[in-house]
Amino acid sequence: MMNGMVQRVAVIGAGIAGATCAQALAQAGHAVHVFDKARGPGGRLATRRMAWVDASGQPCTTRLDHGALGLEARSPAFQAFIDDGVRAGWLAEWSPRLATGGRPLERGTRFHVPVPDMPELCRRLLQGITATWSCTVDNLHRNPLGWQVESAGQRLGAPFDLVVLALPPAQAAPLLAPLQDEWARQAALSPMQPCWTLMGVATTAGTAPPRWDLARPAAGPLAWVMRSDARPGRARMHGQAHWVAHARAGWSRAHLEQAPDWVAQQLRAALAEQLGGPVEWLHSTVHRWRYALPPARRCAPAESCWWDAAQGLGVCGDFLGGRGVEGAWLSARSLATALLRHAGAPLTPACCEALP
Ligand SMILES: Cc1cc2nc3c(=O)[nH]c(=O)nc-3n(C[C@H](O)[C@H](O)[C@H](O)COP(=O)(O)OP(=O)(O)OC[C@H]3O[C@@H](n4cnc5c(N)ncnc54)[C@H](O)[C@@H]3O)c2cc1C
């Protein structure tokens, strides 16, 4: 690999980690191509479009944020990233009214939420970058021309000089197995907590709406309950409440393989208990996150990304950088810095502090 030349980089995964790394590399002048198995960017920064037909036969739609609740900063660098997003107008502050009697929030009562929906953050970061959606990368191999990225036996794009994997560890492990034994082993062993999520639209007719937007129940299956339509930039419909309820990791793990209908029934009952009475649903569904979050760590991770300069292969994500959106972002930036140093691109604040 020759320093100072434009590098062809494949980034697998378009969540916050992949999008952050892709943006830093593209801004430094490299030719970046992003691949994701989903239909668009965002990963666990997710918003689901729901459609149903109401009692009078009218088609209805809405959108609910069913992944990460929002962004919170511990580090000055991530705080600066948030501040920039607020100034540019694609991040908004959300200070939810908290339900009483529940568990306290760990980091204060202020979140930042991308507007108009959660994937907007990654959309912004990926502006102008080539991307291929709905393609699951299932094989990577190197030949003298460079890296070949494959999906279902099809070669994707021209060969690449560098490859970045920005995936949950269980999804990175099979791709790494033929390339980096030790990383594959560590990724396969990296624990990730699952999460069953209930989301739906209920009528508020005839019921007094709760005086809170966010609850952390002290007991029962639910860890978080949020009123999605109380968040900034989200549509609020008269006579409706939009609920998203995340089950606890332990409950989700115990019922991971249960039928969605059964899970929905359990979580609807738990939500009704939290709301203090029956809920009249217009529409509801559940989503199973197999890999929602790494467990909270007592110590900072030893490494915040993996980089193999000899192969031109890097890995980033929340399982390396620390729990949550901020950890994924920090991991991606540390990988981008290593890659830019290797590729010989100008390592200036403009490319490393890359902000949309
Ligand atoms: C229910 C829930 C609640 C959460 N709450 C919070 C919170 O309040 N605060 C917080 O900070 N964090 C929260 N998180 C965690 C946060 O969302 C993640 O830490 C962060 O978004 C991870 O980003 P990432 O880029 O590392 O991974 P991801 O967002 O998972 O991105 C990985 C991408 O890779 C793609 N992909 C996977 N395999 C392949 C493949 N083989 N080929 C191609 N593409 C592939 C996926 O489609 C995905 O788009 C929550 C997560 C969930 C699920």
**CATH label of the domain that carries residue 26:** 3.50.50.60
pLDDT of 329 reads: 97
In this structure, the answer to whether residues 197 and 344 fall within a common structural domain is no
Determine whether the shortest distance from the Cβ of 226 to ligand 1 is under 6 A.
no
pLDDT of 188 reads: 95
Determine whether the shortest distance from the Cβ of 134 to ligand 1 is under 6 A.
no
Q: Domain ends where: 274, 293, 312?
A: 293
Compute the distance between CA of residue 64 and CA of residue 245 in angstroms, rounded to an integer. 11
In this structure, the answer to whether residues 325 and 220 fall within a common structural domain is no
Compute the distance between CA of residue 28 and CA of residue 32 in angstroms, rounded to an integer. 10
C-alpha to C-alpha distances, 325 to 19, 193, 297, 299, nearest whole angstrom: 12, 15, 15, 18
In this structure, the answer to whether residues 104 and 197 fall within a common structural domain is yes
In this structure, the answer to whether residues 197 and 340 fall within a common structural domain is no
Determine whether the shortest distance from the Cβ of 15 to ligand 1 is under 6 A.
yes
pLDDT of 3 reads: 55
In a domain, 3, yes or no: no
Determine whether the shortest distance from the Cβ of 169 to ligand 1 is under 6 A.
no
Determine whether the shortest distance from the Cβ of 13 to ligand 1 is under 6 A.
yes
Q: Which CATH number goes with the domain that contains 253?
A: 3.90.660.10
In a domain, 2, yes or no: no
Q: Whose CA is nearest to atom 35 of ligand 1?
A: 13
In this structure, the answer to whether residues 261 and 337 fall within a common structural domain is no
In a domain, 252, yes or no: yes
In this structure, the answer to whether residues 232 and 289 fall within a common structural domain is yes
Q: Whose CA is nearest to atom 8 of ligand 1?
A: 69
Q: Which residues of 50-63 are buried (b: 16+ CB within 10 A; e: fewer)?
A: bebeeeeeeeeebb
Q: Please, are residues 104 and 137 in contact by the beta-carbon 8 Å criterion?
A: no
Determine whether the shortest distance from the Cβ of 201 to ligand 1 is under 6 A.
no
Determine whether the shortest distance from the Cβ of 217 to ligand 1 is under 6 A.
no
Q: Which atom of ligand 1 is nearest to the CA of 69?
A: 8
pLDDT of 36 reads: 98
Strands 111-114 and 130-132 turn out to be unpaired
In a domain, 267, yes or no: yes
Q: Domain ends where: 293, 312, 329?
A: 293
In this structure, the answer to whether residues 113 and 125 fall within a common structural domain is no
Ligand 1 centre to CA of 290 (Å) is: 10
In this structure, the answer to whether residues 173 and 268 fall within a common structural domain is no
pLDDT of 204 reads: 87
Amino acid identity of residue 113, one-letter, is V
pLDDT of 104 reads: 76
Determine whether the shortest distance from the Cβ of 18 to ligand 1 is under 6 A.
yes
Q: Whose CA is nearest to atom 4 of ligand 1?
A: 68
Q: Which atom of ligand 1 is nearest to the CA of 319?
A: 26
In this structure, the answer to whether residues 131 and 110 fall within a common structural domain is no
In a domain, 173, yes or no: yes
In this structure, the answer to whether residues 252 and 197 fall within a common structural domain is yes
> Quick one: DSSP state of residue 15?
S
pLDDT tens, 182-221? 999 999 999 999 999 999 999 987 777 788 999 999 999 9
In a domain, 101, yes or no: yes
pLDDT of 238 reads: 87
Determine whether the shortest distance from the Cβ of 195 to ligand 1 is under 6 A.
yes
In a domain, 1, yes or no: no
pLDDT of 356 reads: 32
In a domain, 76, yes or no: yes
Hey, which of 138, 192, 293 would you mutate to test ligand 1's pocket, going by the most ligand atoms within 8 Å of its Cβ?
Answer: 293
Determine whether the shortest distance from the Cβ of 43 to ligand 1 is under 6 A.
yes
Q: Whose CA is nearest to atom 33 of ligand 1?
A: 13
pLDDT tens, 299-343? 555 679 999 999 999 999 999 998 899 999 999 999 999 999 988
pLDDT of 186 reads: 95
In this structure, the answer to whether residues 256 and 134 fall within a common structural domain is no
In this structure, the answer to whether residues 149 and 286 fall within a common structural domain is no
Compute the distance between CA of residue 28 and CA of residue 176 in angstroms, rounded to an integer. 26
Q: Domain ends where: 293, 311, 333?
A: 293
Q: Phi-psi bin for 85: left (phi > 0), alpha (psi -120 to 50), beta?
A: alpha
Compute the distance between CA of residue 275 and CA of residue 198 in angstroms, rounded to an integer. 14
- The tally of domains found in the chain comes to 2
Q: Is the whole-model pTM more than 0.75?
A: yes
Ligand 1 centre to CA of 283 (Å) is: 25
Show the domain range for 27.
8-42+121-190+300-352
pLDDT beneath 50: ranges in the chain:
1-2, 346-356
